[in-house]
Every structure is written in structure tokens, then in C-alpha cells.
């Protein structure tokens, strides 16, 4: 069954009021007009507040649509649109006031404010049982660390607070160094790891576990090149957690049964549901990866013939076009192409010859023909869902996989190689490749530099279109070179526009207009002035 996505709790801080309704994890209605003075009096109320933090992740500016994907997936060498849209992002035309991420900034700071407010009222609260208090504090710390993970990745130095500021303080707050923020978040995550359970079951599936907190902490260490700490956290997950690599790569992304969408490789997901009773508990991100029937198949306007070469006729006796016949075959198996085509593989990634011979991940990741028909564009099979019974346009139940086990092994391999060279790093990357190839094609005999460079592609093929690629290229210092050298489609020209400043976004113009103090520590606004 679907879980967190059924939470209909929206939390607002205007006047420090909490109000809305809730229909999961707890089957009770949340009252309106409740202030912090008369809330957080029992375990149920604390859990309702925490549920609201998960609900914020469902916003279009975060995980529900393309909010975070614009910063993590687009603008690299993996994903672009099937037509001339999203050009500000992919073509590096964003600037102050132009696709500067204001919606995402705003929603992340709503999460930061709510997390700080709730932590103040839950941590040490003797009205709560110890077990409920520990879990709530652990989840709040995780959510706040996830928030600042995104903020520091996208904007670098940002406004930072650990206790909820007053409105006056918020209007004059300045930016804090990214290093300071991340150091605090690592400490918070270390505490969260001690408070959170190792697993959940039933309707609690999807909550942050100690392993999700460990994974996020490892990510912070990875981005800060703290290799030993990164390796230690990854080994903790590998050696002690219930998570494992699935035997079949394609199974990791199998979301076809809305009642069975979790598996042992998932460490943290954002849980969505298509049930209309739960409002925006669904996701529209799947539509970005689904094709448009107006594009497909290739040679779509030609007259349709069947496998014997006979014309395919409509009921009125006129001949079908290829697209009509193709669509009728899709519909016969309860499928259709009703998406946006906003996120399709770039040409180089889509070509099988650019993958290593025998890489089984290709067919599970890329689709260039379907039910015997050649497609005009390639698509990400791992992220699409054409099912017209369980996954309709604008109302999809697919979970967003934020962290999974294969990433842990690849981080461990990279960290070990940076620390000591490849000898002990092979065991981690080869565990991932063992599943990817039949027969197995393990790495061996590399220098440290050769291993490092090979990891650039290994992470791309394993994790493409999962929200890691652009930040990987940034932390390796190769974003500009890659964007300038990869093949783009005719309507995109990022190679002509990308500059060193583009590794960060500018602080949104609307925020600066409200609070000019955001420019005190950097009058150039990350180089955009």
C-alpha cells in the first residue's frame, strides 16, 4: 500500500499556525487553527507535525515534478527535452530573475523553517514518550539536513538558522558559509543515526531510517572530499543495513504495482500515490519521462500496414496512419503515450555502442523501439510508465528514488580509490558490475587515475536520470568540459553559454529585493552581477 504520500498535512508558518488535514500515517483528522502553545502535547501530535515535513517533499518545486531535477539532472550530459522547452535550464541562460529557482528556494526554506520550529517543540518535550520523541527528532534532523543538502548544492553559501528566526530577523539575515552549514548537518545526522530505527513496516514504509541518515551523511562527506568519513558511512550501510543490491537491475525501478513499490535496494524514496482522495499526493514527474503520442512512432504519418503488408483500416474503411495503428496496439494492452517528452536521453547516452559490450543496464535504462516499432526519440525505460489503469497522465503513483544501494557501493569505491588506490576499491565497484554484465566483467589492473576516470562513466550508466549526474560533474570539476563536448540536439546550445559561474545558481532576485543583506558577503551574487 502507499504510505507517506497519503499525508494531507500542509504546514504553514504564517503567524506560527499549523493547520490542515491528515489521512496517514495516522488515521485521524488534524484540527485547524492550532498554535505551538497548545500543540505537541502527545505522541500523535508530534507525529502529525513530522508527517507535514514529508508532505512538503511532494511539492512541484521539489520532488513531485521537475523542481529538483532541473538542478540535478538537466544541464549535464544525460537528459534534455524532446523539443525546444526548458531552454533556460539546459542552455545555461538562467540569471537573477530568470529561472533562478525561486520556487525551489522558497519551498526548501519552508522545510527549513518548519523543521527548526518542530525541533524546538519536540526535542526534550516531556509530554512525549521517549521512543516517539527520539524518532520524531531523528526524522526532523534528517529532513532539515536534506533541505540544507539541496540549498548548499544549488546556491553554495545560503541563509542558515538552527532556531526559527523572527520575521524581522529573516528580513535581514545574511548568507552563512557552506562549510559551516555542512559541518553542522553532519553532526545532526550523526545524532539522527542514533535515534532512528533501522527499518519500518506496513504504513510506516517510506519514513527516514538510520540508514537514510547514514546515506545522506555519506553524501555530505563525498561532496566535501572527506574520503575516510565517506567510506566509513558507506561500509556501515553495506555491512550492517538490511539493504542489498537486487539481482536484476530492472527490478530496482519496477513501479508497476502501486501496492508493491518498495524493495531492498531503496534506502530513501519520496512516496507518491495516485489516489484522488489524497490531493497532490501523486507525481507528474513520470509525465516528463513518458513520450507524447504526437511524436511517436518514427515515420508516424505514413499509411499503416500490418505484418503481412495489408493496409490497416479504420471502421469507416479509411486507412490508418502509423501513429493511429501504433496507438491502437498500445491501447490493446492498456497503455498509451500521454506524457510531455520533457526528459529524454541525449543522443550519446541513447546509443548502445557508447555502452560497454554486454552491459545489461542498457535495455533496462534506454528504449528506442517499443512493441516492434522504432521510436522517433529514445526514452528512459527506468523512469517511464505507460500503464493507463494505474498510472494516468497527471496522476502517477511512482515513488521518487532518492537514495539506493548501488550508489553506496560506487561511493565506497570512489572513496577507497582516493584514499588508497584501486586495490581495495575493486570489491565495491565490481559488486555493482556483477549485476550489470553476464558474463561478469570486473575491473582490475588500473592505476588510481584510470580508476578515477572510469568511475565517471560507471556512475553515469548506473545512475543516469536519477538526480545525481550534474552534481557529480560539478564535484569532479568537469561540468564545463562535459557540457561543451557532449552531443546536444539542434534546439539546444549549452556549450555556447556555460561559464564557470554556472556551477552555482544566483540567489533568487525576489529574495534579494526583500532582503538586500543577502548580498553583504558576496555582492556579485555567485558571479551573476
Q: Which residue(s) pair with 154 in the sheet? A: none
The Cα–Cα gap between 107 and 4 comes to: 18
On whether residue 302 sits in a domain, the answer given is yes
Instruction: State pLDDT tens for residues 348-378.
Output: 999 999 999 999 999 999 999 999 999 999 9
On whether residue 262 sits in a domain, the answer given is no
CA distances from residue 200 to 197, 212, 267 in whole angstroms, order as listed: 7, 12, 11
Arithmetic mean of pLDDT, 474-492: 98
Arithmetic mean of pLDDT, 281-305: 97
Angle formed by the axes of helices 405-420 and 227-240, nearest 10° = 140
Q: Which residue(s) pair with 266 in the sheet? A: 404
On whether residue 292 sits in a domain, the answer given is yes
- Tally the residues of the chain: 529
Instruction: State pLDDT tens for residues 436-450.
Output: 999 999 999 999 999
Q: What is the CA radius of gyration of the chain?
A: 24
How many domains, the chain?
Answer: 1
Mean pLDDT rounded to a whole number for the chain? 93
The more confident residue out of 10 and 298 is 298
The Cα–Cα gap between 390 and 393 comes to: 10
pLDDT of 14 reads 30
Residue 436 has which C-alpha cell?
A: 550489470
| CB under 8 A, 24+ apart: contacts of 58-61 | 58/5, 58/270, 58/272, 58/280, 58/281, 58/283, 59/107, 59/280, 60/103, 60/284, 61/103, 61/104, 61/106, 61/107
pLDDT of 34 reads 52
DSSP-derived 3-state class of residue 373 = strand
On whether residue 322 sits in a domain, the answer given is yes
Arithmetic mean of pLDDT, 138-160: 98
- Sequential DSSP letters for 106-149: HHHHHHHHHHHHHHHHHTT-TTS-HHHHHHHHHHHHHHHHHHHH
On whether residue 305 sits in a domain, the answer given is yes
Q: What is the DSSP letter of 63?
A: I
On whether residue 195 sits in a domain, the answer given is no
Lowest mean pLDDT among 31-45, 142-156, 205-219, 383-397: 31-45
Q: How confident is the model at residue 89 (pLDDT cuts 50, 70, 90)?
A: very high
pLDDT of 2 reads 53
Closest CA to 207 of 68, 47, 45, 383: 47
DSSP-derived 3-state class of residue 234 = helix
pTM for the whole structure: 0.94
Q: Answer whether residue 291 shows pLDDT above 50.
A: yes
The Cα–Cα gap between 7 and 273 comes to: 10
Closest CA to 141 of 242, 50, 241: 50
On whether residue 131 sits in a domain, the answer given is no
The Cα–Cα gap between 404 and 216 comes to: 11
- The CA-based diameter of the chain, rounded to the nearest angstrom, is 78
pLDDT of 35 reads 65
What percent of the chain stands above pLDDT 90? 90
On whether residue 384 sits in a domain, the answer given is yes
Q: Where are the beta strands (DSSP E) in 326-370?
A: 344-345, 366-370
Residue 510 has which C-alpha cell?
A: 525576489
- For the beta carbon of residue 214, count every other beta carbon within 10 angstroms: 26
The Cα–Cα gap between 213 and 218 comes to: 9
Arithmetic mean of pLDDT, 249-276: 95
Residue 453: partners with Cβ closer than 8 Å, 6 or more residues away: none
Q: How confident is the model at residue 105 (pLDDT cuts 50, 70, 90)?
A: very high
Q: Which residue(s) pair with 98 in the sheet? A: 95
pLDDT of 9 reads 34
pLDDT of 280 reads 74
Q: Can you give the residue range of the structural domain that contains 301?
A: 285-351+362-401
Closest CA to 272 of 262, 280, 284, 281: 281
Amino acid at each position: 500500500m502507499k504510505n507517506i504520500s497519503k499525508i494531507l498535512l500542509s504546514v504553514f508558518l504564517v503567524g506560527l499556525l499549523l493547520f490542515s488535514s491528515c489521512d496517514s500515517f495516522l488515521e485521524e483528522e488534524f484540527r485547524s487553527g492550532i498554535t505551538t502553545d497548545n500543540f505537541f502535547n502527545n505522541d500523535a501530535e508530534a507525529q502529525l507535525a513530522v508527517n507535514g515535513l514529508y508532505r512538503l517533499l511532494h511539492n512541484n518545486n521539489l520532488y513531485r515534478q521537475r523542481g529538483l531535477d532541473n538542478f540535478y539532472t538537466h544541464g549535464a550530459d544525460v537528459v534534455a527535452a524532446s523539443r525546444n522547452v526548458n531552454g533556460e535550464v539546459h542552455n545555461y541562460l538562467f540569471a537573477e530573475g530568470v529561472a533562478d529557482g525561486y520556487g525551489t528556494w522558497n519551498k526548501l526554506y519552508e522545510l527549513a523553517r518548519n523543521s527548526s520550529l518542530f525541533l524546538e517543540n519536540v526535542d526534550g518535550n516531556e509530554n512525549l514518550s521517549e521512543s516517539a520523541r527520539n524518532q520524531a527528532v531523528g526524522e526532523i534532523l534528517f529532513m532539515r539536513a536534506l533541505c540544507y543538502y539541496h540549498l548548499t548544492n544549488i546556491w553554495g553559501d545560503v541563509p542558515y538558522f538552527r532556531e526559527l528566526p523572527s520575521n524581522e530577523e529573516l528580513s535581514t539575515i545574511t548568507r552563512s558559509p557552506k562549510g559551516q552549514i555542512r559541518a553542522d548537518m553532519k553532526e545532526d545526522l550523526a545524532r539522527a543515526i542514533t535515534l532512528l530505527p533501522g527499518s519500518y513496516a506496513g504504513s510506516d514504509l517510506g519514513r527516514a531510517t538510520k540508514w537514510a541518515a547514514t546515506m545522506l551523511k555519506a553524501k555530505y562527506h563525498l561532496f566535501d572530499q572527506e574520503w575516510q568519513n565517506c567510506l566509513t558511512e558507506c561500509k556501515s550501510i553495506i555491512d550492517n543495513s538490511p539493504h542489498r543490491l537486487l539481482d536484476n537491475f530492472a527490478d530496482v525501478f519496477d513501479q508497476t504495482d502501486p501496492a508493491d513499490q518498495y524493495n531492498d535496494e531503496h534506502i530513501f524514496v519520496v512516496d507518491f500515490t495516485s489516489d484522488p482522495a489524497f490531493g497532490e499526493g501523486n507525481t507528474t514527474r513520470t509525465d516528463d519521462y513518458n513520450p507524447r503520442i504526437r511524436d511517436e512512432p518514427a515515420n508516424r504519418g505514413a499509411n499503416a500496414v500490418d505484418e503481412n503488408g495489408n493496409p490497416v483500416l479504420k471502421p469507416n474503411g479509411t486507412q490508418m496512419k502509423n501513429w493511429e495503428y501504433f496507438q491502437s496496439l498500445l491501447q490493446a494492452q492498456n497503455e498509451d503515450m500521454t506524457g510531455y517528452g520533457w526528459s529524454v536521453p541525449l543522443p550519446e547516452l541513447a546509443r548502445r555502442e557508447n555502452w560497454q559490450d554486454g552491459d545489461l543496464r542498457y535495455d533496462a535504462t534506454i528504449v528506442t523501439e517499443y512493441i516492434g516499432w522504432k521510436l522517433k526519440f529514445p526514452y528512459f525505460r527506468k523512469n517511464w510508465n505507460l500503464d493507463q489503469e494505474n498510472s494516468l497522465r497527471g496522476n502517477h503513483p511512482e515513488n521518487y528514488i532518492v537514495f539506493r544501494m548501488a550508489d553506496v557501493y560506487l561511493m565506497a569505491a570512489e572513496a577507497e580509490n582516493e584514499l588508497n588506490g584501486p586495490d581495495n576499491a575493486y570489491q565495491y565497484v565490481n559488486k555493482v558490475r556483477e549485476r550489470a554484465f553476464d558474463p561478469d566483467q570486473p575491473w582490475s589492473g588500473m592505476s588510481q587515475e584510470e580508476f578515477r576516470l572510469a568511475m565517471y562513466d560507471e556512475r553515469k550508466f548506473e545512475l543516469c536520470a536519477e538526480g545525481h549526474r550534474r552534481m557529480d560533474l560539478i564535484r569532479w570539476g568537469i561540468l564545463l568540459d562535459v557540457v561543451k563536448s557532449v552531443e546536444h540536439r539542434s534546439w539546444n546550445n549549452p556549450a555556447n553559454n556555460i561559464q564557470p559561474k554556472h556551477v552555482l545558481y544566483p540567489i533568487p532576485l525576489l529574495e534579494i529585493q526583500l532582503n538586500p543583506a543577502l548580498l553583504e558577503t558576496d555582492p556579485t551574487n555567485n558571479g551573476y552581477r
